[in-house]
Structure 1
Amino acid sequence: MPQKPRPLDETRSVRDWWGKELRNWREVRSLSTRALGKMVHLSGTMIERIEKNERQCDAALVGKLDDALDAGGALIRLWRLVEEDANRQRIDADNSPPAQSTGDFAAESAGMLEVDPLAPLDRSLSPVERRRILAFGGLLAVTPGSFADLVPALDQASLPKVVRPEDIEQVRTASGTLAGWDNLYGSGGIVRSSLIGQLAWAKGLLEVDCPPGLEADLYTAVGRLSIVMGASAFDAYEHNDAASLLQFGRRCAEHADNWHLRAAALNWLARQAIWCGAPDDGLTYAENGLVRADRLTPREQAMLHNATARAWAKMRRPQAALAAIGRSDEVFGLARNGEDAVWMSYYDNAQHHGDTGHAAFDLALMPGQSSAMATSRLQTAIEEHTDAYVRSRALSGTKLATLTMATGDPQEAVAIAHRALDEVGRLRSSRAIDDVKSLAKVSARYARNSEVAALRDRISTTVLV
């Protein structure tokens, strides 16, 4: 009787995590190690050792394994994380001074799926020292230029001697308040200034002694605030800062073993990458978030499937995008009230239709594709978004106006556009402004129509086209 395969520990390193995913794909396809080995001209023993991270693998073999398992590129995209981790370790090794201790600016803290470069030092570092390394190495060392200026140094006298539950609650409250302002007004102004000050204080808490029972809550609260600030920076097109903040939030989530917060961080990283013209990177982030979908709520899964749909749509892969939208709809239908973290409260029926509608928008502009899905979903989002989510409503409205104009109904498009402009004018949102500029371009062919001409004049006074 064959022995049961040895359990794999994906938390040891990125490479171990990839090996477990290889095994998962093999088992999903009902293949033995020997059967898979024959398909890629290796022995079954070699496949088993690759899965256990006992034998090296390379990108060429990863491609063959992905093809053999019909994984749709998932193993290839995840392998990039292995390569990035290996490159980071080589750079760290090259830059490390000989025979010196790691110091305050050591490598990034370990996460649930990352190598822990501090593991050999666990017994010599106090909890405060480890938190300090994450606070400085994980936040400032990632972006040694602008980010150090973005989050100023804090007077240590303003911090408590020991982290208390009320300190963590302050950070939680700040995240909720600032997220609400950002949804109403977009980034910039008091929102931006308040975020910087709040994060500086929250980051300082990582240098303060913290009772073990509060540590996970502390990292979750600080990580959540960093993600809120990263999302705001993304909206303001401060993309380097956004990426650093979102990555720091992700690492805090992983340090706290909080899969729900990690999903939120990866969702924003995916959306930012897609918006910046790197949909393949965005797809990798989204699929990374779905690696252990069983630990996520239906809304969190739907959110990440939406990100994959957007990525596939940007890559002009309509069937893959539609399949992702279908999976998102399926899991969203399983959602129940009260099962999500507070930061997922935004993800209601309106947000679900808006997110899938944005993916369908890109599909609708492809030759031979219908606009019906995008139109219907964007309309639902506009109708159901409350005034608390004016930015989301404005973004969906501008997209719907652009789509309606592009598909040949300028009169209806003008009516939709004016409502969206009523709300865009209240926002500080670079994303909203760019969408309005796209609307202006699409409307150019109807410039002789008096109503469209009036709309274009209004656009020119609302944003600089």
Structure 2
Amino acid sequence: MGQIPKELEPTRSALHFFGAELRRLRQALRMSQADLGKLVFAHKDLIRKIEAAERMPTEELVSRCDDALAASGALRRLWPMLERERRLRLSRDTAGLATTFRSEATDRPVLDWLLASTHDARRQRGDDEVATAAAEKLDQLRGADHVYGAGHAYPAVAAVLDNDLDTLVARAPAVAAGFLELAGYEAVDLGADGRAQRHYLRALEVVTAAGDRLYGGYLIAVSLAHLALHCGDPAQAARLAAAALRGTEHQATPAVRAAFRAVLARAHARRGDEAACAAALLQVEADLARGKPEEEPAWIRYFGEADLADEKAHCFFDLGLHELAQREAAQAVTLLEPSRARRLAIDTALHAASLARARQIEHACAIGRQAVDHAAGVASFRSAHRIGLMMAELQPHSDLPEVRDLADYVHTRLPTVVTQQNR
């Protein structure tokens, strides 16, 4: 008697989603695990373990399975997400691994920032031609990142870091930190979490030395804490946001406090603490109501109603409050500038995923198609990853024609996932 297939949770992890898709494709062709094993030169027990999310496949095996099952790239597309999951698991099991995100790596730099002397860095000036030109280039690259994704913009940012960083640190530390923060943000967008953390920590080192307390708090509460959330550590994200709020108690402007508290709300939601999340979101709304954009640092003026709606949508999704999540995701998409293509892709896919969890499958697929259209226009691992999470929510309904049509649309419109190896 054959073994009863293990029940999978496609939304639990990329490995579970891959296992579910591998099983679905194999069964659709009426293949046994032994049949597939012979075609891909693997033992049937290895196929069973991969389908049960008990073993991580190699890239070569993923490619062979894709060919054997005539998946047209559907399995290959999941490899970058599997590889990222493998790195995150390895980092939890291997002390001192330098190539991926490690929560503990932030502890000492944050303590150094807390203990450092401070002043109001908004009075700093970088008036020489080098600083002015670099600041203009930074603004241009930020704009390109929003429109085209990190796959397009990161090489130019990396070139500045390789060639000009030391000069900028000496002559315009705020601009240097801006390039490093953008590089970190783009590394996240490429699936390179360890590299992102190193960029963010270098930026924190620069602003700590320059005495820029407020921007240091932003790097801790927004950049590093969001990265911790992205890597599955909401407890660390909450600690970082709380440390930044304490460390900038006398410097933070309303929009800065709002951005910090929004991340705190996200961390509470990820941990299932609905009351703490709601309290933090109320404080965010109160802070934004008090703010005056002209009195805010230039680097935080982006944070407004669209970004608040985005943060709320993620909070409500994590808490399982799907009507609220759908409302806020739709609001974020309505308020976002058309140029913010990656954010449009992510929020639209989140909306579709929430609809799928609420079993509104036809509506989820219609919104999901819009998310794919947004994602197709940007070179972004994060966008493709969010599309993958959306499809994982729909995977239990893969026998429905609208879900199959959406899967085919994803395969057509998103033939590859943009990523770079972590280094």
What TM bracket, shorter-length normalisation?
Answer: 0.5 to 0.7
Q: Which residue of 1 aligns with 2:289?
A: 333
Matched, 1:166 2:122: no
Q: Which residue of 2 aligns with 1:8?
A: none
Matched, 1:428 2:384: no
* TM-score in terms of structure 1 length: 0.61
5+ residue gaps in structure 2? 1-102, 118-125, 418-423
Matched, 1:180 2:134: no
Q: Which residue of 2 aligns with 1:271?
A: 226
CA distance in 2, matches of 1:243, 1:334: 32
Match of 2:393 among 405, 426, 442: 442
Q: Which residue of 2 aligns with 1:248?
A: 202
CA distance in 1, matches of 2:177, 2:196: 13
Aligned pairs (5 A) from 1:344-383: 344-364=300-320, 370-383=321-334
Matched, 1:322 2:272: no
After TM superposition, give the deviation of residue 425 of structure 1 in Å: 0.8
Q: Root-mean-square deviation (CA), in Å? A: 2.6
Q: Which residue of 2 aligns with 1:149?
A: none
Q: Which residue of 1 aligns with 2:114?
A: 113
Q: Check conservation: 1:188, 1:428, Cα contact below 8 A.
A: yes
Question: Which amino acid is 2:349 matched to?
Answer: T
- Structure with more relative contact order (C-alpha pairs < 8 Å, separation 6 or more): 2
Matched, 1:196 2:147: no
Aligned pairs (5 A) from 1:14-29: none
Question: Which amino acid is 1:180 matched to?
Answer: G
Question: Which amino acid is 1:113 matched to?
Answer: L
| Corresponding residue pairs, total | 304
CA distance in 2, matches of 1:201, 1:440: 41
Q: Which residue of 2 aligns with 1:413?
A: 364
CA distance in 1, matches of 2:390, 2:136: 37
After TM superposition, give the deviation of residue 379 of structure 1 in Å: 0.9
Match of 2:263 among 283, 290, 307: 307
Q: Which moved more, 1:309-318 or 1:223-232?
A: 309-318
Question: Which amino acid is 2:241 matched to?
Answer: A
CA distance in 2, matches of 1:440, 1:337: 39
Where is the helix percentage greater, Structure 1 or Structure 2?
Answer: 2
Q: Which residue of 1 aligns with 2:180?
A: 226
Q: Check conservation: 2:371, 2:387, Cα contact below 8 A.
A: no
After TM superposition, give the deviation of residue 174 of structure 1 in Å: 2.1
Match of 1:288 among 220, 239, 243: 243
Q: Pick closer, same or farther for the CA change 1:379–1:206 going to 2, 3 Å.
A: closer
CA distance in 1, matches of 2:116, 2:158: 30
CA distance in 1, matches of 2:411, 2:285: 38
Larger gyration radius, structure 1 or structure 2:
1
Seq. identity, %: 19
Question: Which amino acid is 1:449 matched to?
Answer: L
Q: Check conservation: 1:223, 1:249, Cα contact below 8 A.
A: yes
Q: Check conservation: 1:313, 1:359, Cα contact below 8 A.
A: yes
